[in-house]
Chains A and B, each alone.
Chain A
Amino acid sequence: MAALATEMRIIAFFKKGDEVRFVSHLDMQRMLHRTVRRAAVPIAYSQGYNPHPLISFATALSVGQTADGELIDFKMADDIDVSEFVSMMNEFFPQGYGIARAVSVSNTFPSVSTMMVGAIYTVAVSYPDTVNDETASAKLSNAVSDLMSGAIHVRKKKKSGRRMIEKDIDIRPMVNDVSLVSCAQHEAVLRVDGRLDASGGLNIELFVGALLNAAGVSEWSYLINRDRIVLSQEM
């Protein structure tokens, strides 16, 4: 790699809003590449035949989910004031995206993905008009106690060679805590504390599916937001 003028990296806490919840991880990466070009921030590029900006997500977010604090690591080619970087980027994001805050670190700082230990999710479950708040609350809290008292078996689709196979797995070890926060106006809010590290983590979609199944209401719809990624040390 050619010597860069700076060792600077910027780690940003990134928001993905409701308008763009259905954008995939790959498409979001492409969006970031275009945004840094529009904002003309001094980003570093990879070497090689098809150079690309050195931007990496700590972890991917599933299609359909929103998030308040995804971690993105930007490798800079030149020093830049962090607050200036944030305001330049925020000016050029498509609607629905934004950087809430960012910190500057040096090149020797560990990769943020190695610092991840967990993630906090908010799950908003919608129940139909025919179900009252008390019933919904009872169903969901019973299901939570049921699930948390033993193994949580889910069927996971997995690639085996070329074929997709389904496999039974227990995701209970990946769940630290679940609580029913509120249940009003046909919407129940659950908070889920799950494990997440560089090797993987709680599959929140499968967990919510299992929960609704246990409550006997698998047809209820839900939306997931990743509130924050928990790190081994505060940033």
Chain B
Amino acid sequence: MLDKMFKKALKNVEKPARYIGSEYNATIKSDFDFSFALCFPDVYEIGMSHIGAKILYNILNDIDGVACERAYAPWTDMEREMRAHGIPMFSLETKKPLREFDVIGFSLLYELGYTNILTMLELAGIPFYSAMRGEDMPLVVCGGPCVCNPEPIAPFFDCVMYGDGEELIKEFTLACLDAKKRGLSKRETLNLLQKIEGVYIPSFYEPIYDGDGIVAINKVEKSAPDRVTRRILKDLDSAMYIGKPLVPHIAIVHDRVPLEIFRGCTRGCRFCQAGFIYRPVREREMGTLLSQAHMMTDCTGYDEISLFSLSSGDYSQLYPLVDTLVDNFSDKRVSLSFPSLRIDSYVKQSLERMKTVRKTGLTFAPEAGTQRLRDVINKGVTEEDLLSSVKDAFMSGWSSVKLYFMIGLPTETEDDVRGIAELAKKVKETYYSVPRELREKAPTIGVSVSSFVPKPVTPFQWVAQNTAEELMKKQAIIKQELAGVRGIELSYHDVQVSTLESVFARGDRRLADAIVYAYEHGARFDAWDELFKPDVWSEAFEHCKINRDYVAHRDRSTDELLPWSVMDPVVTKEYLEREYKRSLVPCVTKDCREGCNGCFGDRNEDYCVLQKR
């Protein structure tokens, strides 16, 4: 039964079913020794679409004596109601206040959710800074791609988990459970936890600043490791997956059965953080995938399966897999969708088969407008590749495609920017080159232009991001080039949002104060255009004396001590530096399925799966 006050609050909010829990396949344990709240600092529909958290939910609830529940950031209307009615931040499964959990773990997928962490902590009655939390407070931890540079949010967390979570979360939780049973203090527990590979304890390290920069990072705790190695799951195929997927009451962003066919990517696009931090590539066997697909569709009632990975076209058994899935599921009225299609992959063969199942929108990501710039970023795709794939799609009856581009890439010139508009126009011309009888209607070419944000653990981690002014100028060029062109729909991102993202991506610990300041002055859901408050952030940086230009818009020397240098991504600095230098030539680097590029240095033997084949 729902509490009376809770129901009163839910009457006043949009999408109240975000907050009710009791989804099909949710796990509710009444008998447990240890409780873990998996938190996501964004709304339910987004958080529930995240596969990583679903994997952790399944693994944690599989442990005897451990109860794992979920919590998502309340939308601003619900936050208001919770404050008005004195409702503490609660878990969906049992509506238990977050403060009563042993561990609160946040999944951090993008930097612009940081203020929502504070909303959830404050509503839970938990102090923001780990240093302010006593023995009576839960351990507050985090993981996910953002922890490649955990520094801007490090002061908020007791522990940070770096890398694949499957084994890490289990070892972490078992150690916590053991510490709880033995009655260990928080400090003693942290000492125990730091021995687990992939666990970073921010309070054990202290950066030494000089002006805007960092000159050293000292260890406060002598036994702390010099560097924290990213945890890498070696055997994906036999690892636990999401189990019986939760079936939400309301439509979520990815409302289908997600089949993770492989992890990692071999392409080496130089702007792409995911391409480096999920290395090496590890596949699941076809048989494993097929039985997972059956189990997950049977126990959810979903009628769609999506093949999920960073580059599904690269799955070594893609064609037989699609054949098998189509054979097994078309009678069951289950359709297939590919979320990220590579234009140079098996597209040509797959298109026809996909169409028989469900015709979804087609997206292509050439990323840059000219070949030179695509070589700089190592996007191994040519204009001919793109146009021939697009033509195949048009011949097969598609009339709308979406193209993804970035502006602000290193070495970009005005010609490169114009190239985006030109390429879009060529795609449109390609449509009209298709015989009239095969065309349904006028084409819609969606052109989405985002602003490049240099990320840690990429070859571009040293480069200056374009300033907001430079980015706006580039947006204006494309707008002008495409003005009055029918059938091409241009969309782009708010440059203020992209520059803020850049500050958080590569900033240091001193940013935490700015996040608190902005939060206290109303910043929430910064990734949502309608709620983004650039003035509050400017004020916050000024108040906390953060030099945004120094953090985001400055070329760094490769000798510079980076704020995240304690975090060891296993991909070596030498490799990233070499890739950075090659990009400036520009010189492309081949896909590592075609031969080893040595990204793990002398640890290739330990980690690279491809090497062993």
Contact = CB atoms under 8 A, between A and B. Distances in A.
B254 to A, nearest CB: 15
A20 B300 CA distance: 18
Contact of A27 (B4, B7, B249): B249
A216 interface: no
Nearest to A35: B301
B24 A22 contact: no
B249 A31 contact: yes
A94 B16 contact: no
Most chain B Cβ neighbours within 10 Å, of A18, A37, A45, A223: A37
B299 A19 contact: no
Given A18-B2, A19-B1, A30-B251, A94 B301 contact: no
A34 B300 CA distance: 7
Nearest to A22: B16
A19 B21 CA distance: 8
Nearest to A95: B22
B17 A19 contact: no
B16 A64 contact: yes
Interface residues on B, range: 20 to 34
B16 A63 contact: yes
Contacts of A31: 249
A96 B298 CA distance: 21
B23 interface: yes
Given A18-B1, A64-B11, A23 B249 contact: yes
B258 to A, nearest CB: 16
A34 B247 contact: yes
B2 A34 contact: no
A31 B22 CA distance: 13
Contacts of B301: 33-38, 92
A33 B334 CA distance: 13
A94 B23 contact: yes
Interface string B338-365: 0000000000000000000000000000
B303 interface: yes
Interface string B15-28: 01101101110000
B333 interface: yes
Interface in A78-105: 92, 94-96
A24 interface: yes
Contacts of A18: 1-2
Interface in B4-56: 4, 7-8, 10-11, 16-17, 19-20, 22-24
A27 B251 contact: yes
Interface in A159-188: none
Interface string B272-306: 00000000000000000000000000111111000
11 contacts: A19-B20, A23-B17, A23-B20, A23-B250, A27-B17, A27-B250, A34-B247, A51-B333, A94-B22, A94-B23, A223-B7
